[in-house]
Amino acid sequence: MIYFSIINYKINSKNKIFFCTFIAIKKNISFLKIKKNYKIFLNIKQTIYLMFLLNCWKKIFFKNNVLLITIINNEVNSNIDGLFKLYLISKGFYKIHSINLNKIFSKLETLIWSNIGVYSLNDVEKIFKNKNNILIESIDKIPFLTKFIIPKKVRISNTNRVRLGSFISEGTTVMSEGYINFNTFIGKNCMIEGRVSSGVYISNNTDLGGSSSIMGTLSGGGKIIISIGNNCLLGANSGIGFSLGNNCIIEAGLYITSGMKIFLIIKKKYIIVKAKVLSFINNLIFYRNSLNGRIECCKNLQNIFKINKILHIN
């Protein structure tokens, strides 16, 4: 799959492109045969022609425009290419794990993100010399989601804890302690008060309690993609390193990795299994036995976890 985007770019003191905004996006112009990613600098006539071709009429600047050509299956080859792929995920054009993000951290540049714009690290002295009311929000490779996109019908208490490359569905609330990394999917009507690591998929009507955590695919997290089903609850300070089915509950303060031994209760008898064996099974409750310290699991007989609908009115 090939994407064509008109972007308006910024350059640093060394005349190097370090940031851009995406003006128009088009996929699969079939008459072009392209094997690698690249960019074409545009003059005014070319910009107007492409806006007409892409049927996109927006207020734009007629300088510093580039036609960016991106092949989704190719690894990231520049800072702009990396930002564009993360943008496609957050817009919902592509599902997580369906875009090649290899080498993204080596290609993305560390930038200064502020309340009045984004700047290169090379221009830090110039910033403080000319800007009196600047507030530095972060110094990072990946920006906040809201620097590029404002999700519809979503509440985010602290926008600097949601990164570009995450997709958040309608009705979801992200509280101030919630954190959502890039390459993640959050379903409808979720309450996020915990940490959603890179690579995680969360279905609808799920509640992550305060300071809960889901193991991701970065920093030694492995290649296993963790997903959480519908109507699940992770209690405060809990965590998981394996996938959950629908209607599952993790007790507060209980962190379960995939290799932990679980005492599974079936017909009043115990069967010892690893946690990963229980992945994707519906209607389970995980808790720690307060008498002997064992992690036990039994059926969630009610099969229902009800969210507070008033809290999810966005």
Structural domains of the chain, ranges and CATH numbers in brackets? 2-103 (3.30.70.2010), 110-143 (no CATH), 145-312 (2.160.10.10)
> For the ranges 23-27, 77-81, 100-104, 309-313, which has the lowest average pLDDT?
309-313
User: 237 in the Ramachandran plot: left (φ > 0), alpha (ψ -120 to 50) or beta?
Assistant: left
**More reliable by pLDDT, 54 or 214:** 214
CB 115 within 8 A of CB 137: yes
CB 236 within 8 A of CB 219: no
Question: Rounded to a whole number, what is the distance in angstroms from the first to the last CA of the chain?
Answer: 35
Q: What is the mean pLDDT of residues 274-303?
A: 93
pLDDT in tens, 130-187: 666 788 899 999 999 999 999 999 999 999 999 999 999 999 999 999 999 999 999 9
User: How would residue 72 be classed by pLDDT, with cut points 50, 70 and 90?
Assistant: confident
Amino acid at 102: N
CB 243 within 8 A of CB 226: yes
Residue 215, classed as helix, strand or coil, is coil
Per-residue pLDDT, 302: 72
Per-residue pLDDT, 225: 85
**More reliable by pLDDT, 216 or 271:** 271
Tokens encoding 48: 């107007």
Q: Which residues of 184-197 are buried (b: 16+ CB within 10 A; e: fewer)?
A: bbbbbbbbbbbbbb
CB 143 within 8 A of CB 166: no
Catalytic annotation, pick one of 75, 109, 170, 193: 193
125 is catalytic: no
In the predicted model, is pLDDT for residue 198 greater than 90?
yes
CA pair distance 158, 140, nearest whole angstrom: 17
Q: Nearest CA to 56 among 153, 65, 64, 80?
A: 65
CB 90 within 8 A of CB 164: yes
In the predicted model, is pLDDT for residue 222 greater than 70?
no
In the predicted model, is pLDDT for residue 31 greater than 50?
no
User: How would residue 246 be classed by pLDDT, with cut points 50, 70 and 90?
Assistant: very high
